[in-house]
């Protein structure tokens, strides 16, 4: 990448890569070096800070693909990118204006120059030196008044807003994405004020982009006074659902007409906003809040031509926030329903018991996983865990039906677990809509002479795990029958075992071990090894750590666990 007769400081150093790095560190500006393929090989701390990217994320990356953007944040064509051409021509390029993509998703307007180098080993490359331009300079380059955006650019911005906001059901993430879309493209400041369900007003999000940095200002967030019913001030009107309004620093400079106006005075003073556009965020049925775009560090004020664009952005923000609110309501309903469907464990003298239920990543769905432990007529205890196919209200209803039927059969019939499971299967086929389920049912007995014994049957469910006090773990695979719902006739087999003192029995659903990208045996072996390693942990810690270490990251299923530990001899 050198050119005959070209002088450069790195070449004159006549040393290895360390000299290039030392040279960059001495530059009082952002600087990085690329090899003859345009791959970053060194960066100085100033450059790393301006780009909001650690050196490890920069070194080894293609500079063009990672950093070079147009004035609206879009990737540039490699063949038309002036910065890339300058790096690859082997000639010193004079200072030019450009844009870099920062690690936090924002843009930084920069002035840059490029000079080639050759190290002592003959390796060629280029040094890129850059510094942040002022907001006013950036505005003048890209005509930041939104009225100057072409119709195609407006449509592209709105399409980006739609796709990025509607792809998340987390309201905080949606607002953060919105900020990265509009800042600094349209404004220096973004302020979002939301109405709570009890009509309280909260300043929920404030973000600023300036001098190449993107900052969330949590110190400016918090509760706001009530919305005055008659105030003509822009924020009051927006929160009542009135039309979008322009505002300047003079708008809130006079005597405040409400507590909300007082807070707006403080906001404008803290941010230095000189021009703003404030509009309502509407959902399908109600006003959700207000959106403010503010300019403090640029000379171009908002105009009436900007109102339509803000309205379109606010509309998409409202749809995203409404979807997030509906999802959160579903989550609360699902969690409440699941809480009431799962039982409390009975207290048994000398026996430690605990249970866990972890919902699927889509927590708005009620799962069909369940566990149960209950006293039986003869003084023993019934243990059960199961999984009804599905992740909806039908699965939850089927789960509740199976659990209650199992309790009834176990209480009224002094029979083996296999016989109880057969009765449950026959009853469920005729009295429920459950098409398929798996379950383990066991009877736990204690005798002063023989200790604790477990007799169990298995209907297509992952096998229980037994871990003794010295860390020996094995699955209870002595019996394994067909799933519930197969309409199979005949007795179901069961087995029994004496439980060693201080041993732990773990019943669990497949969400603990099943990974869509691996064989089930791998998950079972992972469970066995970790459970054995945790044998001496208290039972609650044992369950928590098993969940943490064993549940696959790619799992999209809920998990139920029931664990018991018998006392020592």
Q: Which domain CATH number covers 306?
A: 3.30.450.40
- Pair 307, 411 in one domain: no
Q: Is the peptide bond before 184 cis (omega within 30 degrees of 0)?
A: yes
Query: Nearest 5°: phi and psi at 508?
Result: -155, 165
Contact in structure between 559 and 509 (CB atoms under 8 Å): yes
Out of 133, 159, 176, pick the residue that ends a domain: 133
Whole-angstrom CA distances from 305 to 120, 234, 310 are 58, 17, 10
Whole-angstrom CA distances from 204 to 32, 216, 222, 274, 316 are 38, 11, 7, 21, 17
Beta-carbon neighbour count of residue 502 at 10 Å? Answer: 17
Out of 282, 301, 329, pick the residue that ends a domain: 329
Contacts of 215 (CB under 8 A, 6+ apart): 207, 208, 209
Give the separation between CA 76 and CA 84, rounded to whole angstroms.
10
The pairing of strands 504-508 and 93-101 is unpaired
3-state helix, strand, coil in the chain (%, to 5): 35, 30, 35
- Pair 262, 369 in one domain: no
Q: Residue 349's domain spans which residues? A: 342-565
- Pair 349, 473 in one domain: yes
Closest C-alpha to 149, from 343, 308, 345: 308
Q: What does the pLDDT profile of the chain (569 residues) look like in tens digits? A: 433 333 333 333 333 445 566 677 777 788 999 988 899 999 999 999 999 999 999 999 999 999 998 877 788 888 778 778 777 777 777 778 888 999 988 888 888 888 888 777 777 888 898 988 776 556 555 444 444 566 777 888 888 888 889 888 889 999 999 999 998 889 999 999 999 877 899 999 999 998 778 899 999 999 999 999 999 999 999 999 999 999 998 999 889 999 999 999 999 999 999 999 999 999 888 999 999 999 987 778 898 888 989 999 999 999 999 988 888 777 777 667 666 667 889 999 889 999 998 877 654 456 678 899 999 988 999 999 999 876 666 777 778 888 999 999 999 998 999 999 999 998 888 777 788 899 999 999 998 888 999 999 999 999 999 999 999 999 999 999 899 887 777 789 999 999 999 999 999 999 999 988 889 999 999 999 999 999 999 999 999 999 999 999 877 788 999 999 999 87
- The model's pTM is 0.52
Contact in structure between 527 and 507 (CB atoms under 8 Å): no
Give the separation between CA 329 and CA 481, rounded to whole angstroms.
40
Number of independent structural domains in the chain: 3
Q: Is residue 2 part of a domain?
A: no
Tell me the torsion sign for CA atoms 511, 478, 562, 410.
Answer: positive
Closest C-alpha to 17, from 64, 59, 66: 59
Beta-carbon neighbour count of residue 305 at 10 Å? Answer: 12
Q: Is residue 65 part of a domain?
A: yes
Query: Distance from CA of residue 132 to its chain's centroid?
Result: 32
Out of 296, 329, 362, pick the residue that ends a domain: 329
């Amino acid at each position: 990448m050198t050119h005959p007769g070209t002088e450069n400081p790195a070449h004159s150093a006549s040393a290895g890569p360390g000299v290039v790095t030392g040279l960059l560190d001495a530059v009082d500006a952002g600087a990085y070096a690329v090899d003859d393929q345009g791959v970053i090989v060194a960066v100085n701390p100033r450059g790393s800070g301006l780009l909001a990217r650690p050196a490890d994320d920069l070194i080894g990356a293609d500079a063009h693909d990672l950093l070079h953007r147009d004035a609206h944040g879009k990737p540039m064509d490699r063949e038309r990118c002036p910065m890339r051409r300058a790096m690859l021509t082997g000639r010193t390029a004079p200072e030019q204006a450009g844009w870099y993509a920062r690690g936090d998703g924002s843009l930084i307007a920069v002035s840059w120059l490029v000079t080639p180098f050759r190290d002592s080993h003959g390796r060629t490359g280029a040094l890129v030196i850059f510094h942040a331009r002022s907001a006013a300079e950036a505005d003048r380059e890209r005509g930041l008044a939104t009225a100057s955006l072409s119709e195609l650019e407006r449509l592209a911005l709105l399409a980006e807003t739609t796709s990025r906001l509607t792809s998340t059901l987390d309201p905080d993430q949606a607002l953060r994405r919105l900020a990265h879309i509009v800042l600094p493209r349209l404004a220096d400041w973004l302020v979002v004020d939301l109405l709570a369900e009890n009509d309280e007003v909260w300043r929920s999000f404030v973000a600023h982009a300036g001098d190449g940095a993107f900052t969330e200002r949590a110190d400016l967030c918090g509760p706001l006074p009530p919305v005055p019913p008659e105030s003509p001030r822009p924020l009051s009107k927006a929160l009542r659902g009135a039309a979008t309004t322009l505002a300047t620093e003079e708008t809130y400079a006079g005597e405040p007409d409400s507590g909300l106006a007082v807070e707006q005075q403080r906001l404008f003073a803290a941010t230095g906003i000189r021009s703003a556009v404030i509009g309502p965020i509407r959902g399908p049925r109600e006003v959700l809040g207000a959106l403010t775009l503010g300019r403090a560090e640029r000379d171009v004020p908002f105009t009436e031509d900007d109102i339509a664009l803000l309205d379109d952005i606010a509309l998409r923000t409202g749809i995203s926030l409404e979807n997030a609110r509906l999802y959160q309501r579903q989550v609360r309903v699902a969690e409440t329903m699941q809480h009431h469907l799962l039982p409390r464990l009975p207290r048994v003298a000398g026996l430690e018991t605990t249970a866990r239920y972890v919902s699927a990543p889509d927590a708005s769905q009620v799962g069909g996983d369940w566990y149960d432990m209950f006293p039986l007529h003869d003084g023993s205890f019934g243990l059960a865990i199961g999984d009804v196919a599905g992740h909806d209200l039908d699965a939850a209803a089927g789960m509740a039906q199976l659990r209650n039927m199992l309790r009834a059969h176990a209480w009224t019939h002094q029979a083996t677990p296999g016989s109880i499971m057969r009765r449950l299967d026959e009853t469920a086929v005729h009295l429920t809509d459950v098409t398929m389920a798996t379950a383990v049912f066991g009877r736990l007995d204690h005798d002063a002479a023989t200790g604790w014994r477990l007799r169990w049957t298995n209907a297509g469910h992952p096998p229980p795990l037994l871990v003794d006090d010295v860390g020996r773990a094995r699955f209870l695979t002595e019996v394994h029958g067909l799933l519930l719902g197969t309409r199979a006739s005949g007795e179901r087999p069961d087995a029994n075992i004496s439980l060693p003192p201080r041993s732990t029995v773990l019943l669990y659903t497949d969400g603990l071990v099943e990974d869509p990208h691996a064989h089930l045996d791998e998950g079972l072996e992972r469970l066995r090894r970790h459970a054995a390693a945790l044998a001496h942990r208290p039972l609650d810690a044992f369950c928590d750590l098993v969940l943490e270490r064993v549940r696959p990251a790619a799992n999209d299923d809920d998990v139920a666990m029931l664990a018991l530990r018998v006392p020592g001899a």
